Amino acid sequence: MTAITRAEVEHLARLARLQLSADELDHYAGQLDVILQSVARVAEVTADDIPPTSHPIPVENVYRDDVARPGLDRAEIAAGAPAWEDDRFRVPRILDEE
């Protein structure tokens, strides 16, 4: 029995914004299937009454005092940006053609 098909891997790649090649899809489909079948073992533990743990130590929201602090250096951020124009990040077009 397979846990995941090639078509599902293609869908996942789209959700995860990964433009995989056909060869990669073939390769990963097999590997992801093996991994998922292996980790599916967690279902063997009957745990209806067990609370989930999202975090190893209990966390509460932490607020800091509402005091202005210096931010990061603008010029350094601009230098690290893939494209910078008019003192802003330049990004590709947002809307599709159609």
Partner 1 sequence: MAAMEGDLVRQEAAVLARAIAEGEVSAEEVTRAHLDRIDAVDERVHAFLQITGDAALEAARAVDRKRSEGIPLGPLAGVPIAVKDVLTMRGVPTTCGSRVLEGWRPPYDSAVVERLRAADMIMLGKTNMDEFAMGSSTEHSAYGPTHNPWDLDRIPGGSGGGSAAALAAFEAPLAIGSDTGGSIRQPAAVTGTVGVKPTYGGVSRYGLIALASSLDQAGPCARTVMDTALLHAAIAGHDARDSTSIDAPVQDVVAAAKRGDVRGMRIGLVKELGGDGYQAGVSQRFNEAVEILTSLGAEVIEVSCPNFEYALAAYYLILPSEASSNLARFDGMRYGLRVGDDGQHSVEEVMALTREAGFGAEVKRRIMIGTYALSSGYYDAYYGQAQKVRTLITRDFNAAFEKVDVLISPTAPTTAFKIGDKVDDPIAMYLNDIATIPVNLAGNTAMSLPVGLAPEDGLPVGLQIMAPPMADDRLYLVGSALEEALVDRWGHLLIEEAPEL
Which residues form the interface with partner 1 (CB under 8 A)? 4, 8-9, 12-21, 24, 28, 31-32, 34-36, 38-45, 47, 50-57, 59, 61-62, 64, 72-73, 76-77, 79-83, 89, 91-96
Rounded Cα–Cα distance for residues 26 and 20 (Å):
10
Rounded Cα–Cα distance for residues 22 and 10 (Å):
9
Q: How far is the CB of 54 from partner 1 (least distance, A)?
A: 6
CB atoms under 10 Å from CB of 68, counted, come to 5
Nearest CB to partner 1, comparing residues 7 and 89: 89
Q: How far is the CB of 46 from partner 1 (least distance, A)?
A: 10
Rounded Cα–Cα distance for residues 52 and 47 (Å):
9
